[in-house]
Amino acid sequence: MENRNDFKTAMITGATGYVAGWIVKKLLEEGFTAHAPVRDPENPDKLKYLNALADQAPGTMHYFKADLLEEGSYDEAMQGCDVVFHTASPFVMAVNDPQKELIEPAQLGTRNVLEPANRTPSVKRVVLTSSCAAIYGDNADLALTANGVFTEEDWNQTSSLAHQPYSYSKTVAEKEAWKNAKAQDCWDLVVINPSLVIGPGINPRGTSESFNLIRQFGDGTMKAGVPDWGMGVVDVRDLAEAHYRAAITPGAKGRHITSGHNSSFPELAKALREHYGDAYPFPKKALPKWLVWLVGPIMDKGMTRKMVSLNVNHTWRADNSKSVKELGMTYRPLAESIVDFFEQMTQSGLVPPAK
């Protein structure tokens, strides 16, 4: 299938973030002009990694000031863009006010990014970074699926403000995007639904929850063990490729589960132990569910007993075949992703030195 070689200018929201950093890299390498609306374009510390990418690639970077919560703030950055990647959305688990900290930037932010596309005739396609969290709420939801596997047909029906608010934010944001897409015919929407993203960051000390989670495997936090919690995993570099293909593949449409592996916490720990041996205090065993239920919410502000009940000792299984067939995706081995990620953390000092 022919690609859209006429696409040359792209807007990317959340460019300072973990997932978008690799999308920016890919675009710059392909010679794109990248428009990056960021909250603080005057902050050299936040932009230095993106600037370093631009210095080494044929494409060019332009920064704009914008905020997901400000209506009209993306108009300027969108001017002349063929494609819009909407990636910005808070990915945090421990919040005090889920409505303000998660739902508003996700849902209102999506509206504020997509509405200007209706008045920007150059925009032909929008690629939205949604999540597998918009497909399912808890692992127990596997029982609600037609064939015991999550597919693009499934929608998260179980998350709410009170239970799994991050997943709820991604669900309402994706619904908002489809509502906006269906109300016009100037641009089409292609959605990427990643599972847990791992792999090295463009910024080696990223603030995404992905860093927080994988760091805890090696800094001693999890040395007593991990819950047997099933999840999907995808490499951040493969995910950037999926976004790029979603933009330039003319026939791409709908949602795409973008997940390399059906995995679990114990499996991630095993991959690290196989590579590093005992050099770091990696978890060696799966904790009994009753113990996680009792102690988990005390140790981790983002965890509740309901979450433990519906996810621990539950398998996670998703069908990534649409991304393989329609976007031509291949996924690198899980061990490569987690080891490259952890290696970066050791070098940037995010985890204490090896024994």
Contact call for residue 229 and ligand NAP (CB under 6 A): no
> How far lies 325's CA from each of 83, 116, 175, 192, 320, in Å?
22, 32, 24, 14, 9
Contact call for residue 18 and ligand NAP (CB under 6 A): yes
Contact call for residue 255 and ligand NAP (CB under 6 A): no
Contact call for residue 232 and ligand NAP (CB under 6 A): no
Q: How far is the CB of 277 from ligand NAP (least distance, A)?
A: 27
Give one DSSP letter per residue of 321-341, joined into a string.
Answer: HHHHHHH------HHHHHHHH
Q: Which CB atom, from 289 or from 337, has the smaller least distance to ligand NAP?
A: 337
Q: Are 102 and 92 in contact (CB under 8 A)?
A: yes
Interface residue with ligand NAP among 47, 54, 78, 88 (CB under 6 A) is: 88
Among the listed ranges 89-97, 135-143, 220-228, 287-295, the one in contact with ligand NAP (CB under 6 A) is 89-97
Q: Which residues contact 229 (CB under 8 A, 6 or more apart)?
A: 139, 264, 265, 311, 312, 314
Q: Which residue has the tokens 């081995």?
A: 333
Q: How far is the CB of 234 from ligand NAP (least distance, A)?
A: 8
Q: Which CB atom, from 22 or from 280, has the smaller least distance to ligand NAP?
A: 22
224 exposed, middle or buried (CB, 10 Å; 0-12, 13-18, 19+)? middle
Contact call for residue 196 and ligand NAP (CB under 6 A): yes
310 exposed, middle or buried (CB, 10 Å; 0-12, 13-18, 19+)? middle
107 φ/ψ sector (left φ>0, alpha ψ -120 to 50, else beta): alpha
- Footprint of ligand NAP on 56-75 (CB under 6 A): 67-69
Q: Which CB atom, from 206 or from 296, has the smaller least distance to ligand NAP?
A: 206
Q: Which residues contact 58 (CB under 8 A, 6 or more apart)?
A: 28, 29, 31
> How far lies 23's CA from each of 221, 222, 248, in Å?
31, 31, 13
Cα separation of 5 and 1, whole Å? 12
- Footprint of ligand NAP on 155-194 (CB under 6 A): 170, 194
Q: Which CB atom, from 67 or from 75, has the smaller least distance to ligand NAP?
A: 67
Nearest to 85 by CA among 184, 194, 191: 191
Contact call for residue 218 and ligand NAP (CB under 6 A): no
Q: How far is the CB of 288 from ligand NAP (least distance, A)?
A: 27
Q: Which CB atom, from 208 or from 249, has the smaller least distance to ligand NAP?
A: 208
Q: How far is the CB of 122 from ligand NAP (least distance, A)?
A: 22
In the chain the beta strands, taken as DSSP E runs, fall at 9-13, 33-38, 60-65, 83-86, 125-129, 188-194, 196-198, 226-227, 230-235, 254-258, 261-264, 286-287
Contact call for residue 103 and ligand NAP (CB under 6 A): no
Size of residue set near ligand NAP by CB under 6 A: 27
Q: Which CB atom, from 69 or from 140, has the smaller least distance to ligand NAP?
A: 69
Contact call for residue 336 and ligand NAP (CB under 6 A): no
Q: How far is the CB of 105 from ligand NAP (least distance, A)?
A: 4
Contact call for residue 25 and ligand NAP (CB under 6 A): no
Q: How far is the CB of 169 from ligand NAP (least distance, A)?
A: 8
Binding site for ligand NAP (CB under 6 A): 14, 16-19, 38-39, 46, 67-69, 87-91, 105, 129, 131, 170, 194, 196-197, 206-208, 210
